[in-house]
Amino acid sequence: MDLTRFERISATEWRLPPQGAMRVPAVLYASEPLVREMDDKVAEQMANVASLPGIVRASYAMPDAHWGYGFPIGGVAAFDPDRGGVVSAGGVGFDISCGVRMLHTGLPRAAVEAVQARLADALFRAVPAGVGSTGALRLGGKEMDAMLVEGARWAVRRGHGEESDLDRIEERGTMAGARPDCVSEQAKTRQRDQVGTLGSGNHYLEVQVVAEIHDEDRARAYGLAQDRVVVSIHCGSRGLGHQIGTDFLRRMTLEARQHGLAPADRELACAPIRSELGQEYLGAMRAAMNCALANRQVLTALVRGVFAVVLPAARLPLLYDVSHNTCKEEWHLVDGARRRLFVHRKGATRAFGPGHPDVPDVYRAAGQPVIIGGSMGTSSYVLAGLETGEARSFGSACHGAGRSMSRNEATRRFDGRRVVNELAARGILIRSPSLRGVAEEAPEAAPP
Amino acid sequence: MSGAEVRWEHFRHGADIGVRGLGRTREQAFEQAALALAAVVAEPARIREAESVELSCAAPDAELLLVDFLNALIYQMATRRLLFGRVEVHMQQTADALRLEARAWGEAVDVARHEPAVEVKGATLTALAVAPDAGGGWLAQCVVDV
């Protein structure tokens, strides 16, 4: 990226002053090498977001930002409904509430390595993954609507987990304000057999080991210890979220002029928060959030079922569950005043600091756990939200591995079988229904 | 016109992928863009023509019509587990909209034989264009989210 337009605020903060239609500055957090590798489109998209009505303070981008659609992926933007603020389907993305959850196993590395291949095979059999896979549940009518209203709580009520899991999920597992009546029949049809499926692309289930600890106190607060094994699940709202994104991107595009919005780019399609369309989108998007929370909860139950057979000593309590494609109504301090804002995080994770009322009691003193996924061959991270994040990014952080190479280039350069063999030589076992899919997600193509 | 290309290709877009169809006519460019979409999931040459589906869409302009058309295919791929190897498109301008009727031939996904790489979530308005190209033919393209 060309840095000449940016002011350097510090080694990791870059500011694009308001110019043209921009109402607020654009602020990018990343080291200089990371910024230089970014596409110029990131700056263009940050500037476009900064021009939307009702935006507050700045259009932000996180260190893993890359070219998205409308909003950059890795973008954070907050809008004030009292000042004409908007909500954008592109600012949330198609995979609504895509996120990561991490489970403790309590087991040392050696105990898992002793049954590594058996565990990998059993997980692969039990957890539906890849194109065309379906879950064991069939949902329709009232049961579908109940899932869309209650999220992970619905799953727990149906026997997929424990009440205590809900304390360690954003929104306590249920996003309030969901409106299944705003979700199209097409979206519900896409979801009818997809609850409890992982999906494809960069979605995964990984058995991981704690390799390094950088902050002993917070690690202790999160229950993480050196050499202990954890399980991470990365997936989202599946077909339902994809269809809601599709439906509302179209409606927001067609109705933009009607709302007096003529954004610089059609893909920035949005609607005033206080419009009927804006409210319908928020209701549908929250239903998709609950779908994602329910999905990760059902997957958790499948993982626990496998461990109960292969490693029965493990209990697998939840560490935390974060979402990184959302628009949430939150209170933030802006110029000394508390304001109710709608914060879009597109490929960005909420990261509230110590003492924040939305952080569960168990983590209130340490700050919110922020789970950042890596690629197949690189590390994942558990970060901690800090109080300073509030003023710098409305309490937001990065979300995980991006891409440095196109899917086609990855397929040309990497052979899926060879990637599997090379990772196996490093002690990393891969189970995937598609070797082409493995090649497209090769560690060199999707670095952290 | 005779020099215009009829083919599809992918183009780079960050974490996602762009689909581009080129044809002698706008309809052909749409057909090729559909094959580019299908090829994101699996190689079109591996897809047998075991069944077909009919699609119809209407939009105020050709660009939104392309997005609607690709999303209609994505919906069939998602709900009927279909992969497509051939698509035929007809368009008609009416007083209130540009309309499209299409038939797509393909078969249900067979993981072992097709090795499907990734499912497509939706067609976006990013890098969206339906326009005459330099060779005298038509181009139809957009980024799809995977």
Where exactly are the structural domains of chain B?
Answer: 10-132
**pLDDT digit string (tens) for B102-127?**
999 999 999 989 989 899 999 999 99
Q: Extract the tokens encoding A30.
A: 């990343």
Instruction: Count the alpha carbons within 13 Å of A177 in the hemisphere toward its beta carbon.
Output: 12
> How confident is the model at residue B1, as a pLDDT?
46
Does A447 contact B at CB distance below 8 Å? no
> How confident is the model at residue A191, as a pLDDT?
96
Contact at CB, A39 and B17, closer than 8 angstroms: no
Chain B's closest residue to A41, CA to CA, is B14
Contact at CB, A69 and B67, closer than 8 angstroms: no
Helix, strand, or coil (residue A301): helix
Contacts of B75 in chain A (CB under 8 A): 186, 190, 243
Please, are residues A183 and A240 in contact by the beta-carbon 8 Å criterion? yes
Per-residue pLDDT, averaged over B63-84, amounts to 96
Q: Extract the tokens encoding A15.
A: 């500011």
User: Which residues have a Cβ under 8 Å from the Cβ of A38 and sit 6 or more positions away?
Assistant: A1, A30, A65, A66
Does B129 contact A at CB distance below 8 Å? no
What is the average pLDDT score of chain B? Answer: 94
Closest CA to B52 of B109, B107, B101: B107
The stretches of A233-371 forming alpha helices (DSSP H) are 238-255, 276-310
Instruction: Give the residue numbers of A annotated as catalytic, written as ranges.
Output: 399
Per-residue pLDDT, averaged over A380-399, amounts to 97
The angle subtended at Cα A19 by Cα A16 and Cα A25, nearest 5°, is 40
User: Which residues have a Cβ under 8 Å from the Cβ of B88 and sit 6 or more positions away?
Assistant: B31, B102, B103, B104
Per-residue pLDDT, averaged over A205-210, amounts to 97
Please, are residues A240 and A188 in contact by the beta-carbon 8 Å criterion? yes
**pLDDT digit string (tens) for A363-379?**
999 999 999 998 888 89
Confidence of residue B45 (pLDDT cuts 50, 70, 90): confident
Distance between CA atoms of residues B106 and A197, nearest Å? 24
Q: Which of B19, B76, B109, B119 is the best residue to mutate to test the A interface, defined by the most A CB atoms within 10 Å of its own CB?
A: B119
φ and ψ at A29, to 5 degrees?
Answer: -110, 110
Cα A198 to its chain centre, rounded Å, is 14
Handedness of CA A197, A242, B51, B117 (dihedral sign): negative
Residue in the block written with tokens 């209407």:
B58
**Cα dist from A267 to A180, B128, B143, whole Å:** 25, 9, 11
Does the pTM surpass 0.90? The reply is yes
Element spanning A217, H or E: helix A216-222
Residue in the block written with tokens 């509030």:
A390
Per-residue pLDDT, averaged over A217-243, amounts to 97
Contacts of A67 in chain B (CB under 8 A): 13-14
pLDDT at A74 over 60: yes
Distance between CA atoms of residues B2 and B100, nearest Å? 24
DSSP string, chain B: -TT---EEEEEEETTEEEEEEEESSHHHHHHHHHHHHHHHHS-GGG----EEEEEEEEESSHHHHHHHHHHHHHHHHHHH-EEEEEEEEEEEE-SS-EEEEEEEEEEE--HHHH-------EE-STT-EEEE-TTSSEEEEEEEE-
Lowest mean pLDDT among A232-246, A260-274, B71-85: A260-274
Does B71 contact A at CB distance below 8 Å? yes
Residue A382 CB neighbour total at 10 angstroms: 22
> How confident is the model at residue A448, as a pLDDT?
43
Helix, strand, or coil (residue A92): coil
Confidence of residue A389 (pLDDT cuts 50, 70, 90): very high
Per-residue pLDDT, averaged over A205-234, amounts to 97
pLDDT at A54 over 80: yes
Q: Which residues pair with A22 in a beta bridge?
A: none
φ and ψ at A99, to 5 degrees?
Answer: -170, -175
Q: Extract the tokens encoding A28.
A: 């990018």
Helix, strand, or coil (residue A349): strand
Closest CA to B58 of B34, B29, B88, B91: B91
Q: How many angstroms away from the CA of B52 is the closest CA of chain A?
A: 18
**pLDDT digit string (tens) for A285-312?**
999 999 999 999 999 999 999 999 999 9
Please, are residues A48 and A41 in contact by the beta-carbon 8 Å criterion? no
Contacts of A403 in chain B (CB under 8 A): 14-15
Handedness of CA A212, A214, A215, A218 (dihedral sign): negative
Exposure of B97 by Cβ count < 10 A (0-12 exposed, 13-18 middle, 19+ buried)?
A: middle
pLDDT at A89 over 90: yes
**pLDDT digit string (tens) for A320-367?**
999 999 999 999 999 999 999 999 999 999 999 999 999 999 999 999
Per-residue pLDDT, averaged over A65-71, amounts to 90
Contact at CB, B41 and A95, closer than 8 angstroms: no
Q: Parallel, antiparallel, or unpaired: how do β-strands A26-29 and A55-69 relate? A: parallel
Per-residue pLDDT, averaged over A397-415, amounts to 80
What is the average pLDDT score of chain A? Answer: 94
> How confident is the model at residue A157, as a pLDDT?
98
Distance between CA atoms of residues A78 and B97, nearest Å? 36
Question: Considering chain A, what percentage of its residues have pLDDT values greater than 90?
Answer: 85
Helix, strand, or coil (residue A171): helix
Contacts of A41 in chain B (CB under 8 A): 14
Lowest mean pLDDT among A57-61, A196-200, A402-406: A402-406
Confidence of residue A403 (pLDDT cuts 50, 70, 90): low
Distance between CA atoms of residues B58 and A431, nearest Å? 42
> What ipTM was reported for this prediction?
0.93
**pLDDT digit string (tens) for A253-295?**
999 888 888 766 788 889 999 999 999 999 999 999 999 999 9
Handedness of CA A42, A283, A293, A244 (dihedral sign): negative
CATH class of B10-132: alpha beta
Please, are residues A368 and A352 in contact by the beta-carbon 8 Å criterion? yes
> How confident is the model at residue A257, as a pLDDT?
85
Helix, strand, or coil (residue A319): strand
pLDDT at B60 over 80: yes
- Provide the residue type at A57 as one letter: R
DSSP string, A24-87: S-EEEE--HHHHHHS-HHHHHHHHHHHTSTTEEEEEEEEEEEEEEESEEEEEEEEE-GGGT-EE
**pLDDT digit string (tens) for A113-159?**
999 999 999 999 999 999 988 999 999 899 999 999 999 999 999 99
Distance between CA atoms of residues B5 and B111, nearest Å? 32
**pLDDT digit string (tens) for A1-17?**
989 999 999 999 999 99
> How confident is the model at residue A222, as a pLDDT?
98
Domains of chain A in start order, with CATH, are: 7-402 (3.90.1860.10), 412-448 (no CATH)
Q: Which of B47, B125, B128 is the best residue to mutate to test the A interface, defined by the most A CB atoms within 10 Å of its own CB?
A: B125
What is the arrangement of strands in the sheet containing A204-209, beginning at the earlier edge strand? Answer: A204-209, A228-235, A99-108, A318-323
User: Which residues have a Cβ under 8 Å from the Cβ of B134 and sit 6 or more positions away?
Assistant: none
List Cβ<8 Å contacts ≥24 apart for A386-390. Answer: A386/A351, A386/A353, A386/A354, A387/A353, A387/A354, A387/A355, A388/A353, A389/A351, A389/A352, A389/A353, A390/A332, A390/A333, A390/A352, A390/A353
